[in-house]
A = this chain, B = another copy of it.
Amino acid sequence: MTRYVHLFSDPPTTQVKELLGGKGAGLAEMTRLGIPVPPGLTITTEACRAVYANGGAWPETLRAEVLAALAVVEEGVGAKFGDTTQPLLVSVRSGARVSMPGMMDTILNVGLNDATVEALAARTNDRRFAFDAYRRFVMMYGGVVLDVDRHLFEALLNDLKRSLGNPIMHDHEVPVASLEQLVKSLKALVLKETGKPFPEDPHDQLWGAVAAVFESWNSKRALTYRRMYNYSDDWGTAVSVQSMVFGNMGDDCGTGVAFTRNPSTGERMLYGEYLLNAQGEDVVAGIRTPKAIAAVSSPRGREAESLERALPEVYAQFVAVAARLEKHFRDVQDIEFTIQRNKLWLLQTRNGKRTGRAAVRIAVEMVDEGLITTDEAVLRVDPTLAEQLLHPRVPEPERLAKEGIFPLASGLPASPGAATGIIVFDADDAERTAKDGTKVVLVRGETSPEDIHGMKAAQGILTAMGGMTSHAAVVARGMGKCCVAGVSDMHVDVRAGKLVVRAHGGTAERTFVRGDVLTLDGTHGKIYSGEVPVEPATSVPGFDRLMSWVDGARRMRVRANADTPKGARDARAFGAEGIGLCRTEHMFFAADRLSAVRCVVLAGTPEVRKQWLAKIEPMQRQDFVEIFRAMAGLPVTIRLLDWPLHEFMPREPAEMAQIAAALGESVDVITRRAEQLHEINPMLGHRGARLGLTHPDIYGTQARAILEAACIVSAEGVDVQPEIMIPVVALAGELTRIQATVRAAAEAVFAECKLRVPYLFGTMIELPRACVVAGEIAETAEFFSFGTNDLTQTTLGVSRDDAGHFLPDYLGEGLRVLERDPFASIDRDGVGAMVRMACERGRSTRADIKLGICGEHGGDPYSIAFFEEVGLAYISCSPFRVPVARLAAAQATLRQKKS
């Protein structure tokens, strides 16, 4: 029989995290280590899965198991759930196998009713505390479990405060009689809203809370979060039922969260915030501004507020526990704790989220500390976060000040980076506005999990409230988005759509409305009006060492897609080991060349075309010369022309006239010829190899330019490794015929130059048919480079240009037909299967065929793992993404080795 419940002190022997969730597993492990954890039990994720599988019905044995475990807890704590003299109160919390901050609902103080509250008051000798806990419980339970609008509860609380003459009084200032009255009003509200009285029976409360946690697994915000990180919906959540401890029983109480290292910079220091006399969610919810834990982290002159000074013994104990946990788990820990009457209780420990910059520094330092191996260090850095390291940033405020640019206001540097965009005040607006490419900055009083989609769509997030561990800060760092939080000089009126900023050090106010442009500096916590010029990323401590381990660990080579000499040099600077895709058509975008190309396309006869090709050839040759020099000793894959011809067409009458004059033909004739080039489905049109075959002089000229350049640079003593690549091949015969043209051009050039340069001849694999007949194609092709962009379009029958009409729906919650955008991450089952087939068939013909990929998936970590699996020799991506790709490739190799 499946066991659904485990005491913290009696965890399962295997799959601990999968069954208990991250939170449950952490609590169990801390209990094992003898660290003070309030006793409790965890209902496994398996129970959650069983509930969903059975359409909501609970496994038969679940209740009995929970009660049995609860009895053990009761005995340990010396209290009894529902008892009217020694009542046990519990928290009910969710916990999936990976931490999903703020995603799941938590209910505290379960077990309170009109009888047990009196017992609590009596035992704590603090009636006000007892009734404050009670009203918190009713509000939380009413909102989360009974689905009553929380604002209605808050309105009652605010009415009460107002009736007391002080609308802004702290909760703990409300007199006890009023709290008793408030509980009655809250319950009446529940009866009115739900038609049923608030549950008095503690067991009814408990089962209701557990059910609510199960349900919250499929809440919209949880789904959105899982979508964003591609977590499986099948995992389910565990539920931890833990005996309550209280941080709000007086000034010898408190609650806080801490990271064992700075999650923004990676600096090795205890980094955290706490609040005295506060309960659970108060810190992370951002309602009160928390204080630093360490004195050294406090603002100057306010060191006394730190935990270190306020409760020095507890502080010392906490420092020791934190260090022990980090060492034990061999990673930065994100810890929640509560202090109840000077006693420290640990409520959670988990691996802490961190910025890319912090991840690099922490990984490298932990290697130096002997905590982890270099391979582990490589695996510790999320490649998508690594990318943010390379993002541009706003210059130092001091530097800007010299240029007369001053920040509008300052806040917490909650997540580094730079963001410029128009401001919007709600998440839906952010999503809608960003859809068409408009850059937006999401401005909120504070963010909540409901804002996730807006945060995702925004360039950056700005909140008036909240600290470094507030929702906005944590989520933004996880996303690698810039965030400035806790800007106290700023007021957000969401309903009126206004942001009012009190200018630095003055009383003057500036008001911004939706559509105004702001720039955020998340690295320094500054806000600027309008657009501020950004500067390239600065170096990250440890980055080069980490990358040296990365390069040692990975099997696949990483090349870059670059079309110009400058691009080639940039790529090499980013660590590219060659060019995987040089798109010759991109070499024609310069205005002077474009005219010549247009004349090639619109020439009336092969002879005229040849004349114009002759003008282009030297330009191309010179480009290749410089690219080959920049890439000395590394392979350069050059793709011969692949343009939908009409893309090069002049659109303006003046341009048309110019081309007509150049060709010595009438505008009418040229216009008609241009019209004939129009295609209904240009993606599936007269492109690539097709063009090369119907206009063989074009590919002949290009081959000549490439090989002449190769000879020139080779004669300089440089190692040149050209690879000539034919695009859009569907038929083996296309390639053999083009090969004849290319080889002939090569032999002619070599004869003229009295020099031979070894080169490879190969093809893009970007059509399903090419995958099917890859074995035949490999008879001619010395290499394959997968063009997964086009292969995705043809395999799925989806035009990337037009997919906007339905792909967002496919990826959205409503339909969820697709887990991932197939243009961002390779569609393993479809496109991936085609790639795998082509690899196998290609190798069966030519065992040593060189296999690579140059589609945009080449820079995507998820896809890179797949390319490692099928054994590609290299991946190629945009220069900027090369470091990400190197890291992802190394991780793929290491993970492949493990499995």
Say whether A686 contacts B769, CB under 8 Å: no
Contact among B772, B796, B833 for A830, CB-based, below 8 A: B772
| CB neighbours of A143 from chain B (8 A) | none
Given the contacts A681-B801, A796-B767, A797-B794, A690 and B772 also touching, CB distance less than 8 Å: no
**Bound-complex Cα distance A730 to B681 (A):** 19
What's the minimum C-beta distance from A431 to chain B, rounded to whole angstroms?
A: 17
Contacts of A817 in B (CB 8 A): 693, 731, 733-734, 737
Interchain CB contact under 8 A, B686 and A802? yes
Whether A694 sits at the interface, judged by CB under 8 Å, is yes
Distance of A684 Cα from B730 Cα, bound (Å)? 18
Query: A683 at the A/B interface (Cβ < 8 Å)?
Result: yes
**A770-802 Cβ-contact flags toward B at 8 Å (1 or 0):** 001100100000000000001001111111011
Interface membership of A235, Cβ < 8 A: no
Mask of A676-690 contacts with B, CB within 8 angstroms, 1/0: 010111111110001
The answer to whether A751 has its CB under 8 Å from any CB of chain B is: no
Q: Please indicate the chain B residues that have their CB under 8 angstroms from the CB of A677 in the complex.
A: 805
Contacts of A815 in B (CB 8 A): 693, 737
Q: Which A812-834 residues have C-beta < 8 A from chain B?
A: 815-818, 827, 829-831, 833-834
Chain B residue numbers with a CB within 8 Å of A799 are 679-681, 683-685
Flag whether A635 is at the interface (Cβ < 8 A).
no
Q: Mark A725-748, 1 if CB is under 8 A from B, else 0.
A: 000101101100100000000000
Cα distance, A853 to B478, chains bound together (Å)? 50
A769 touches B790 (CB 8 A): no
Whether the Cβ atoms of A769 and B793 lie closer than 8 Å is: no
Knowing A681-B799, A737-B815, the reply to whether A686 touches B772 (Cβ < 8 A) is no
CA distance A795 to B771 in the complex (A): 9
- Residues of chain B within 8 A (CB-CB) of A834 are 768, 772
Chain A interface: which size bin? 35 or more
Assembly CA distance A817 to B802 (angstroms): 31
Shortest C-beta distance, A822 to chain B (Å), equals 9
The answer, yes or no, to whether A198 is at the interface (CB within 8 Å) is no
Select one of B690, B691, B831 contacting A769, CB under 8 A. Answer: B831
Contact, CB under 8 Å: A793 / B830: no
Q: Is A159 an interface residue (CB 8 A)?
A: no
Tally of this chain's copies: 2
- Knowing A681-B683, A802-B682 are in contact, say whether A772-B795 is a contact too (CB < 8 A): yes
> Considering the chains assembled together, what is the distance between the CA atoms of A677 and B682 in angstroms?
17
A490 to chain B, nearest CB (A): 38
Q: Please name all residues of chain B whose beta carbon is closer than 8 Å to the beta carbon of A810 when the two chains form the complex.
A: 690, 693
Known interface pairs A734-B817, A809-B694; A685-B794 also in contact (CB < 8 Å): no
- Which of B680, B768, B797, B809 lies in contact with A790, CB distance below 8 A? B797
Q: Give the top 9 A-B pairs by smallest Cβ distance, nearest first.
A: A684-B799, A681-B799, A769-B830, A768-B768, A686-B805, A767-B797, A680-B801, A733-B817, A679-B802
A residues with CB within 8 A of B: 677, 679-686, 690-691, 693-694, 728, 730-731, 733-734, 737, 766-769, 772-773, 776, 790, 793-799, 801-802, 805-806, 809-810, 815-818, 827, 829-831, 833-834
A-B contact pairs, 30 of them (CB 8 A): A677-B805, A679-B799, A679-B802, A680-B682, A680-B802, A681-B683, A681-B684, A684-B684, A684-B794, A684-B797, A684-B798, A684-B799, A686-B802, A690-B805, A690-B806, A690-B810, A730-B797, A731-B817, A731-B830, A733-B816, A733-B818, A767-B796, A767-B797, A768-B794, A768-B830, A769-B831, A772-B795, A772-B834, A773-B830, A794-B797
Since A679-B799, A684-B793, A737-B817 are in contact, a sample of 13 more A-B pairs with Cβ atoms closer than 8 Å, ordered by chain A residue number, is A679-B805, A680-B801, A681-B799, A684-B684, A684-B797, A684-B798, A693-B815, A693-B817, A733-B817, A767-B796, A772-B829, A772-B833, A773-B829
